[in-house]
Structure 1
């Protein structure tokens, strides 16, 4: 599992349940009231147990050459989706299912570091392999209960619980801490505890559907780089399905769905020696920037209403858009500020 300022170390989430205290039970002498709260608690517990029973067989442990992570069975052909940073540079892997200690072997189909996703395929499909069901992540709402399933710290078939804390987050990984360097948009933030080894596993709703793949954890700068409890991020399930379907059919990603400006750039510093914009080093032929008249030497300072101070902030801004979106781009050319409308292309 990587971290927001990314690392292969993960976040501790929060868990809890609502149950009536003694004062609740004694406030009303009604027998109906006394029985209602325990029944509700039992119902929720039964929901948890059903989801775990249904989904956990679809979550596997993946052992790569230098990393341990998790994966989700995607179809009955033996395809498994996981994080690109879990597979790393590996081509072959050992896979263990939740209902067996037998090590299976798998081979890389394709890794897509730009979205930190990868697909591997079992060399031999065991009997009874159960694919997971993937939700439409656009329907995920804040407050929904989530269960994170995977192999944290090598403890296979582990489950933690929390809620969806936020949606639509854009976060960036750090290559130095084990990430792919990707900037990923529209992520699902969760309070479910995520620890090393959860990467590539399943974030699941109470309908037994995968809403995301746990991938990132927040780092608290006040804790000397330690994980910030209760803040984890998952790649949304709809993006996972989009990438996996293309990889299985085409052997690669043919339509990223990610917006691009079509430039090569570098961060420039202002008078206070702080990041102050992105200098255009090169523009792609017939790319979005070139079509709009942006040239090498221009310094991009704003996209829409968002200031652009560095390559990272540029990537994060673009991650919130889609190919074909029209955005205003402010830049400086020879000391003169200019603004142009750009139709974004695709990575």
Structure 2
């Protein structure tokens, strides 16, 4: 199954709404454990009635939607989430692209505000922009603990699908801990992102960079990728999307707000550039080392150009993307076993991973 970032171009007068970046929804934090009182556990065990669920939805939407904005560059459009009271807004790197200035529309106003890029970090498909003027009443979102996300939790996705600002869709967390590679040929960043939240919430162009929200009113992810189905001509696979977890969003955004850039990526690296090689049947067979960074992890372990990496620990590697996905699930400083081919012979070496 392929995944696609799906940023569409604005089509002028052909379409009555603005079209652009794909969004997704995901995740949700578990509610705090209530104080024990006589009978409280019995009441908590009872399912919510239809009126209770609707009331919860309405409350969350009222609290969070004012923190979700529409972002328009010169040709592309997406969504963003107000990060703090100083006008910082977090979004996807593929939403901002190579642009430096933007028009931002909040949920409570049709009058666009201007904003400037603070920093874009394509490696994690995240970026922060800042409003040139902070309007009165701007409300920052509350980011939850994505480590507490559980499969089956109800989530709401908020953003601007097809340019329809302040739209809300609903689904559940379908899975957690997914490692997903984003395509780069259609304008995506090509990032490989670990620990993503999979969701069934509807995904449409224009939602990228928006909010995936739990029923506690906390943002637990930034919708980013939609799965595509080759049998449908590469179209979006219904009900399969992915969101960057809130923990990673906070890690990256905090550094950008504080330092103007990312100074500690937390992403593991071998210190090599690679390309995919194929076997006699033209099937992907490994990641061939093209260059080795001098003094880097691979160089210290004895890897050299021409070696073909075929595995990391017990994870098989058959392509350059496969190597990126294997490393995305690991941390700098971690020691791993790398299997590779050299001159037709299989070899294994221990490598202490560096930082990307």
Which TM-score applies when normalising by structure 2?
0.88
Q: Could you say which residue in structure 1 is the equivalent of 2:156?
A: 147
Q: CA deviation at 1:269?
A: 1.6
Q: Classify the secondary structure of the residue corresponding to 1:180.
A: coil
Instruction: Check whether the contact 2:60–2:216 (CA below 8 A) recurs between aligned residues.
Output: yes
Q: CA deviation at 1:334?
A: 1.6
> RMSD over aligned Cα, in angstroms?
1.7
Q: Could you say which residue in structure 2 is the equivalent of 1:8?
A: 7
Q: How many residues matched?
A: 323
Which of the numbers 343, 347, 351 marks the counterpart of 1:334? 343
Q: Classify the secondary structure of the residue corresponding to 1:134.
A: coil
Instruction: Check whether the contact 1:98–1:157 (CA below 8 A) recurs between aligned residues.
Output: yes
Instruction: Check whether the contact 1:149–1:159 (CA below 8 A) recurs between aligned residues.
Output: yes
> Aligned equivalents of 2:115 and 2:5: distance in 1?
27
Instruction: Check whether the contact 1:11–1:229 (CA below 8 A) recurs between aligned residues.
Output: no
Task: Give 1:36-47 correspondences, 5 Å limit.
Answer: 40-47=49-56
Q: Could you say which residue in structure 2 is the equivalent of 1:194?
A: 203
Structure 2 gap segments, 5+ residues each: 9-21, 26-45
CA displacement 1:109-144 (0-9 Å, x = unmatched): 000111110000000000010000101111111011
Q: Could you say which residue in structure 2 is the equivalent of 1:135?
A: 144
Instruction: Check whether the contact 2:24–2:224 (CA below 8 A) recurs between aligned residues.
Output: no
Cα separation, partners in 2 of 1:271 and 1:285, compared to 1, 3 Å:
same
> Aligned equivalents of 1:124 and 1:69: distance in 2?
20
Q: Could you say which residue in structure 2 is the equivalent of 1:24?
A: none
Q: Could you say which residue in structure 2 is the equivalent of 1:277?
A: 286
Q: Classify the secondary structure of the residue corresponding to 1:175.
A: coil
> Aligned equivalents of 1:11 and 1:252: distance in 2?
24
1:234 correspondence with 2:243:
yes
Structure 1 gap segments, 5+ residues each: 14-35
> Aligned equivalents of 1:163 and 1:180: distance in 2?
27
> Aligned equivalents of 2:205 and 2:75: distance in 1?
13
Q: Classify the secondary structure of the residue corresponding to 2:50.
A: helix
Q: Could you say which residue in structure 2 is the equivalent of 1:319?
A: 328
1:256 correspondence with 2:255:
no
Q: Classify the secondary structure of the residue corresponding to 2:185.
A: helix
Instruction: Check whether the contact 1:11–1:231 (CA below 8 A) recurs between aligned residues.
Output: no
Which of the numbers 77, 81, 103 marks the counterpart of 2:86? 77
CA displacement 1:131-178 (0-9 Å, x = unmatched): 001011111110111000000001100000000000011111112223
Q: Could you say which residue in structure 2 is the equivalent of 1:16?
A: none
Q: CA deviation at 1:266?
A: 1.5
Q: Could you say which residue in structure 2 is the equivalent of 1:89?
A: 98
Q: Could you say which residue in structure 2 is the equivalent of 1:265?
A: 274
Instruction: Check whether the contact 1:7–1:174 (CA below 8 A) recurs between aligned residues.
Output: no
